Chains A and B, each alone.
Chain A
Amino acid sequence: MKKYLVNLALMICISYTMVSVTAAIINSLTGGQTNNRNEMIMFITCIIASVVLSLHGLFDNISPLAMMVIQYLVACVLVAVFILIVSRFDEVTPRGWFEFYRSFTIPYIILAGVYYYSVFADTRKKADIIRELQERSK
């Protein structure tokens, strides 16, 4: 459990740094600005994503595709809870909900595609090694 929490903390730190630096670069290029609330939203989003992705061990017996769909749905629920909490303190427009989900979904789909490709590439590499070993043993 301790190891899991340490890894989770590490994942949160890395993902938040990446998101924060990317946002800073985009802002400096486009002249945009950020504020404390945005930083907190980015941080909490990183926590939600890290927690959901770290649960992959629970889905070992089902297909990776089903795992990704389930993880996405869990993430959607957690995001909805988060936006509901935020809406208690500040007004969240329907557009705000849409934007939040969009900014969560696009990177998720891109990363899922990358993972999908990596599974195929990795399997091809392993198949080549097996073929090589079979040739050598003849």
Chain B
Amino acid sequence: MAAVGGFFFETYYLGIRTTRRWLRVPSNWISILFFPLIQLLVFSQLYQEIIQLPAFGEQTSYLAYLAPGQVAFTAFMAVAWAGYGLIIEYRSGYLDKLRANPIHRWSILAGEMVPLFFQAAAMAGILLVVSALLGATIVTGLGGFLLILALSGLFGVCLSGASFIPALLTKSEQATSTFSLLLFPIVFMSTAFVPVALMPGWMQMINQWNPMTYLIEAIRSLMVVGYDWSAISAALISMGILGVILQIATLWAFRRLGL
């Protein structure tokens, strides 16, 4: 029990440090928000007529269709480079210095990962507020708003392994950021921009396995329809599978680091 208590204690203090490190560099959150905001503002105007296609059903505003995808995309952006800080600190020797303290090595990883929940949720929240100001609805109100933040945060933590793994395995900033770019197709091939009915068959197949799509559909239901628990649980299950696979690999890669 003492060991578990120590783990939470250490994670808390190390997490405060990583959060500070993140907050004190404005380009961190600017670079997360910029792309989704631009897409929200520009695409909602550029493709506004697309909403007349029958596949969009009863939806009448492309902005309202687009917003959930951009909220999810923000959570994606918030963690796409999550491994970067860890690897820079590994190379600078800072992690060694942390390790010379009487702390559990897993606390160091947890101190990186736990704050990602709050970062992804907060960033997604900003997109959500902007979307609402532009006219998108959140029919489930405050409860739905908070649930969307929680889903976004969880998704962020689950997906973060996709950046931690290349970071820990290559120990190279370049490789880590390049790998993050390779993840972008899961966003563009999701239902962020058009419903799955408008996609070619192969892309529809892929979307059955795309965790991004499940998250977007859950957020979309909360914004447009109401509490659709089947969509929400599908999102939770898909990110659960994603999280277990990626984070087990992350733990393995972190262990391999030999701290």
Do the two chains belong together in a single complex? no
